[in-house]
Structure 1
Amino acid sequence: MKQNLKYYPNTQTKSFHFDHVHIQWSQQVPLHQQQTWELSYIITGSGVRIIGDVIENFSKGEIILIPPNISHCWSFDQSVHDGYGKIENITIVFENEFLKNCTQIFPELFTAISELQSNENAVSFTEELLQKLQILMTSMVHQNDIERISSFIKILELISYCKEMRIVGRPINENKQEKKLQKIHLYVLSNFQKNITLEEISQYVGMQKSSFCIFFKRMTGKSFFTYLTEFRIESSCQMLLKTKLSVKEICIASGFNDIPYYNRAFKKSKGMSPGCYRNKYQNIQII
């Protein structure tokens, strides 16, 4: 269930909140939104994320900027972790008030910050800019508070004028239909590894089975079980590339109970078998 959370940086001692964590894959905050900006760097881990109206896979190395009031969550794959069984990420949380104060104290930042605040979509950074941000955010782990301010001002400058990015989430139109669809996405995200029946999912959103099928097809252009199969296939792709699990183990872990059916569905979706997919793409690394 979505939670409305707000992170409050300690305004008496800190201008923004910097958080570097090593935690178990299951300890991430559930679907939530806050009134602050969030810049997140996934150092170790992969899985599936929901940001606003977009649900997609993520991998290590990504840096995501999320503007205020966009619901989001990361669901980490329990098989992808460091040597201690943990995922690692860095998160910087800052308020619009902080940005406003920056423009008042440093007029030179006015244009850059205005450009940043005009962005309403969540974005993922790419190419050379991504590498620069990775270096800056990693360096902040070992810096004191004053050094972090300097690094963060540099980060603000880089992301404000950024062209090397792609949109990974948009604000959701807060109507009942969109909320219901997001509730379905979240349920699949949390339960795709087990059997999901039509009766179960329709009851979860408070609909009759027939009404649910019509609603989902109208909203997405596909049947629920087509969507569920595609979701499981994409999840299995991440496990093929990021783990050493066997194809049989991945089949079960991604919610398929029948290996021949999994192989057929995978080949139909990707044009090759799971084994061929692993051999072809496993050595492609995301920086």
Structure 2
Amino acid sequence: MISKSFNSTKLKYYPTTNNNTFHFDHVHIIWNQQVPLHQQQTWELSYIITGSGARIIGDVVENFSRGEIILIPPNIPHCWSFDESVHDEEGKIENITIVIENDFLISCKNLFPELYSSISELQSNENAVSFEGELLEKLQALMASMVHQDSIERLSSFIKLLQLISHCKEMHIVGRPIVENKKEKKLQEIHLFILRNFQGNISLEQISKSVGMQKSSFCVFFKRMTGTSFFTYLTDFRIESSCQMLLKTKLSVAEICIASGFNDIPYYNRVFKKVKNMTPTQYRKSEKVNNEFLFHDSIKN
């Protein structure tokens, strides 16, 4: 099940530190011990080694899975909500986060002309992005190797990271800066309410009351901001969450049905087939076959 560790919609601001040129954080923790919604004035590069769930990055709410590496520019609010049932043999999730001071990047540009274009290209990016393909594999290997390095070795690896990501073309946007206005803040409150409560019954009265709106005003607001109705959005979110559980857990379809917020198995099967053009069982089998094919194909190459 997805974590319900979001105990507040209040945004946390984490102060910068001047003790290190960049901060390397490797954590191996219980699924519900992650940092809540926060933002800071630093760059953040995050690698999910073990775990899956749902995340908020700026104005985007999406599911995530292991293997992803996300680059988040300064001042974009973000948080990860981990699935309780997806973990390693110790019952823990694992990730690596590199936090980079903008002053450090500026200093590198001034001290090392060779890095000027790479860092300038990086700083021109305003959106959070994830990496794909061969570049993702290189970044995974490089970040994993940093776990066992000392501070000098990590600095060398960090420069390699900068070079790799600065001119990257194999990536896609996973979050954008939030315009500081009441509408965007209200929408973010709604997203957080969904993350905390989608596994249970959510009535229109509950969700509208939670953000201080009348039901009719809430429906109009949500449709205008997202382009879809609230319950259509909620259903799609639950289906995508169930897909993660089908692929990442050994839970039965019936258990996943309940864990993703559907109380009726036949209804869940009908909705799933309408969205994915196959049943949950077929989806689980087909995706596993595809993953096995890609795995064996990568070994051959």
TM-score tier, shorter chain, comes to over 0.9
Asked if the contact 2:58/2:175 (under 8 Å) is kept, the reply is: yes
Q: 2:165 aligns with which of 149, 159, 166?
A: 159
Asked if the contact 2:16/2:41 (under 8 Å) is kept, the reply is: no
Matched, 1:30 2:36: yes
Partner of 2:299: none
Q: 1:92 aligns with which of 98, 120, 124?
A: 98
Partner of 1:55: 61
Asked if the contact 1:2/1:30 (under 8 Å) is kept, the reply is: no
Asked if the contact 1:45/1:77 (under 8 Å) is kept, the reply is: yes
Cα distance in 1, alignment partners of residues 286 and 216 from structure 2: 41
Structure 2: stretches of 5+ with no match in the other structure? 1-8, 296-301
Deviating 4+ runs (over 6 angstroms) = none
Cα distance in 2, alignment partners of residues 157 and 212 from structure 1: 46
Q: 1:4 aligns with which of 1, 12, 16?
A: 12
Range with bigger deviation, 215-224 or 146-155: 215-224
Q: Which amino acid aligns with 1:134?
A: Q
Q: Which amino acid aligns with 2:204?
A: L
Please state how far the C-alpha of 1:15 moved relative to its aligned partner: 1.2
Q: 2:122 aligns with which of 106, 116, 127?
A: 116
Q: Which amino acid aligns with 2:55?
A: R
Please state how far the C-alpha of 1:44 moved relative to its aligned partner: 0.3
Asked if the contact 1:81/1:87 (under 8 Å) is kept, the reply is: yes
Matched, 1:251 2:257: yes
Matched, 1:274 2:280: yes
Cα distance in 2, alignment partners of residues 7 and 156 from structure 1: 23
Q: 1:193 aligns with which of 193, 199, 202?
A: 199
In the alignment of these two chains, the number of paired residues is 285
Cα distance in 2, alignment partners of residues 150 and 7 from structure 1: 26
Cα distance in 2, alignment partners of residues 108 and 276 from structure 1: 52
Q: Which amino acid aligns with 1:163?
A: K
With structure 1 as the length reference, what TM-score do the two structures score?
0.96
Structure 1: stretches of 5+ with no match in the other structure? none
Matched, 1:144 2:153: no
1:164-195 deviations in Å (ceiling 9; x for gaps): 11111111122111111111011101211111
Cα distance in 2, alignment partners of residues 221 and 111 from structure 1: 39
Matches within 5 A, 1:126-137: 126-137=132-143
Cα distance in 2, alignment partners of residues 226 and 130 from structure 1: 33
Please state how far the C-alpha of 1:7 moved relative to its aligned partner: 4.7
Partner of 1:212: 218
With structure 2 as the length reference, what TM-score do the two structures score?
0.92
Asked if the contact 1:2/1:71 (under 8 Å) is kept, the reply is: no
Please state how far the C-alpha of 1:221 moved relative to its aligned partner: 2.0
Q: Which amino acid aligns with 2:88?
A: D
Cα distance in 2, alignment partners of residues 213 and 111 from structure 1: 47
- Please state whether the residue corresponding to 2:76 is helix, strand or coil: coil
Asked if the contact 1:45/1:80 (under 8 Å) is kept, the reply is: yes
Cα distance in 1, alignment partners of residues 154 and 15 from structure 2: 19
Partner of 1:83: 89
Matched, 1:175 2:181: yes
Please state how far the C-alpha of 1:2 moved relative to its aligned partner: 3.9
Asked if the contact 2:50/2:66 (under 8 Å) is kept, the reply is: yes
- Please state whether the residue corresponding to 2:169 is helix, strand or coil: coil
Partner of 1:242: 248
Please state how far the C-alpha of 1:46 moved relative to its aligned partner: 0.7
Asked if the contact 1:125/1:166 (under 8 Å) is kept, the reply is: yes
Q: Which amino acid aligns with 1:141?
A: V
Asked if the contact 2:14/2:38 (under 8 Å) is kept, the reply is: no
Please state how far the C-alpha of 1:226 moved relative to its aligned partner: 1.1
Please state how far the C-alpha of 1:6 moved relative to its aligned partner: 2.4
